[in-house]
Amino acid sequence: MVANMFVVPQTIVAMAANMFVVPQTRGTVLCCKCGIPMAPNPANMCVTCLRLEVDITEGLRKHVIIMYCPECESYLQPPRTWIKAQLESKELLTFCVKRLENDLKKVRLVNAEFIWTEPHSKRIKVKLKVQKEVLNGAILEQSYVVEYVQQDHMCESCTRFQANPDQWVAAVQLRQRVAHRRTFFYLEQLILKHDAAVHAIKIKQMDQGIDFFFGNRSHAVKFVEFLGKVAPTKSRHDKQLVSHDPKNNNYNYKYTFSVEISPICREDLICLPPKVAASLGNLGPLVICTKVTNNIALLDPFTLRQCFLDTDQYWRHSFKSLLGSRQLVEYDVFDVEVVSPEYNVGGSKYVLADIEVARITDYGKLFYIRTHLGHILKPGDRALGYDLYGANSNDMELDKYKGLVLPEAILIKKSYEEKRQKKRGKPRSWKLKSLDMEVDDTKGRAYEEKMNSEYEGFLRDLEENPELRFNLSLYRNRDYQPSEMASVSEGDDMPSVPLEELLADLELSEQEDGEDSMRE
């Protein structure tokens, strides 16, 4: 009974009438060329004979010449566009298929893929699978290989640079009006990670900043936009006429972009202007800058309130720091009394505590202050902070607050200087890359020592602050050899970079020495 439920209705009628049912079979015909049985098609030919009779790739180009710039590794998309693409990448496959745009109007493209060739052969092979309607409506599918021959031809930017390396079209002058270069060390790593200055012709270190030179105005504009996304900046631009062809009405300009970074840096102590403090809900007025991106994060160390200033808000008032990182003083911690539970503010943990401290250079004066570092400080530790008791401040914003009682000290972070003295001179297990930058060597030994000291401070900040190195690329130092004695003597609370955060430094050639572009 179950089998009868699936019988075709016509068959049931025929069985009821006792009629003979002819089983339905798939019809076949003989190929008109070779005579083998096959399923019928409009051409009455099998696939093999049809391919022998008709070649749908006839008239399609099998060899194409493409222009390749060996300096910037880009390909010419006629008439004047240069496209940067890696071998066997999706971008390069799209470029190769577009070069056959006129040919592919005659057929239907089904698939395209690379065939491996030697990288130095200057040949790129692409296998294409196409379909086309042939005799009497039959659709034939066929594969064929297109060989692209690379011819070296430098693009306009590279040609101009080879003729005169100093001939630039656009310059970006990046400046910050502060007494240190910590911000530029951090920006250098962000630029390297995102390849933001890959089109720069020349990079030159200047006082209070860096100059970037580009061979194209659009590259400079893109770089300025990148800076605006990672730092609170303001910019202006200007242009200067270099030459003019009155017959063709062509003008050649040199463009200059001036980019200024906010002087507010991480760990700075700030006295907010009254209008800014009121707009932030009466924050402060004494606050600490905890993070700087395209926004400025401000923390009140006495109430643990946090607010953010965007770029427009800051430049509308344009205030400066009360005290900077170069004015930090080291304190000894004698007593810690926690007065609040642990709070999570902006992804960081803080605990309010009343502590007793004294400057390491003057134990005759004890300070009883409140700090937000109660979760990491304990008696016997050392901390870095700002000495407001002995500071002589001439800040105009501070004078606007009548009757404001300043604390004797504001602690910023825990100090590990005493423990680092034991490791002085030993290499780190990690290192950073650096930009190919021109440096003025005529400034003397004192300037070089100052730069090395500031860079060492930047490396220590990376070790102490995981959030600071979150967006950076740190590489393993192959010359580092850990010793068992060092691992036993180091304290558990000594900040360091975990091995899982480090990247392996890839070397493409044994002859290339990567140490010139790496800094420990």
Q: What is the distance between the alpha carbons of residues 74 and 85, in angstroms, rounded to a whole number?
A: 6
With a cut of 90, say whether residue 16 has pLDDT above it. no
For residues 129 and 173, membership in a common domain is answered with: no
Residue 162 lies in a domain: no
Residue 469 lies in a domain: yes
User: Counting Cβ atoms within 10 Å, is residue 332 exposed (0-12), middle (13-18) or buried (19+)?
Assistant: middle
Is this prediction's pTM over 0.85?
no
For residue 100, give its domain range. Answer: 52-152
Total domains in the chain come to 4
For residues 301 and 408, membership in a common domain is answered with: yes
pLDDT at res. 4: 40
For residues 224 and 319, membership in a common domain is answered with: no
Which has more confidence, 483 or 240? 240
pLDDT at res. 112: 92
Residue 434 lies in a domain: yes
- Read off the tokens for 175: 């400046």
- Read off the tokens for 161: 């640079």
For residues 241 and 114, membership in a common domain is answered with: no
Q: Which CATH number characterizes residue 142's domain?
A: 3.10.450
For residues 186 and 217, membership in a common domain is answered with: yes
Contacts of 248 (CB under 8 A, 6+ apart): none
With a cut of 60, say whether residue 488 has pLDDT above it. no
Decide which of 102, 123, 152 is a domain's last residue: 152
Q: How far apart are the first and last CA of the chain?
A: 84
Residue 192 lies in a domain: yes
Cβ 307 vs Cβ 280: under 8 Å: yes
> Chain-centre distance of CA 267, in angstroms?
24
For residues 120 and 84, membership in a common domain is answered with: yes
For residues 89 and 59, membership in a common domain is answered with: yes
Q: Please provide the DSSP assignment of 217-228 as one string.
A: HHHHHHHHHHHH
Neighbouring CB atoms inside 10 A of 143's CB total: 12
For residues 295 and 389, membership in a common domain is answered with: yes
Half-sphere exposure of 198 (CA within 13 A, CB side): 10
For residues 287 and 407, membership in a common domain is answered with: yes
Q: What is the distance between the alpha carbons of residues 21 and 11, in angstroms, rounded to a whole number?
A: 7
Q: What is the distance between the alpha carbons of residues 350 and 304, in angstroms, rounded to a whole number?
A: 8
Decide which of 127, 152, 177 is a domain's last residue: 152
Write out pLDDT tens, residues 300-328.
999 999 999 999 999 998 888 989 888 89
Write out pLDDT tens, residues 261-285.
999 999 999 999 999 999 998 888 8
Determine the average pLDDT of the residues in 3-10: 43
With a cut of 90, say whether residue 288 has pLDDT above it. yes
Residue 482 lies in a domain: yes
For residues 59 and 114, membership in a common domain is answered with: yes
Q: Which amino acid is at 303?
A: T
For residues 145 and 173, membership in a common domain is answered with: no
Residue 347 lies in a domain: yes
Contacts 24+ apart (CB under 8 A), 89-92: 92/124
With a cut of 50, say whether residue 3 has pLDDT above it. no
Cβ 112 vs Cβ 103: under 8 Å: no
Decide which of 152, 179, 201 is a domain's last residue: 152
For residues 257 and 374, membership in a common domain is answered with: no
Measured over the CA atoms of residue 189, residue 194, residue 198 and residue 202, the dihedral's sign is: negative
Residue 14 lies in a domain: no
DSSP state of 490: S
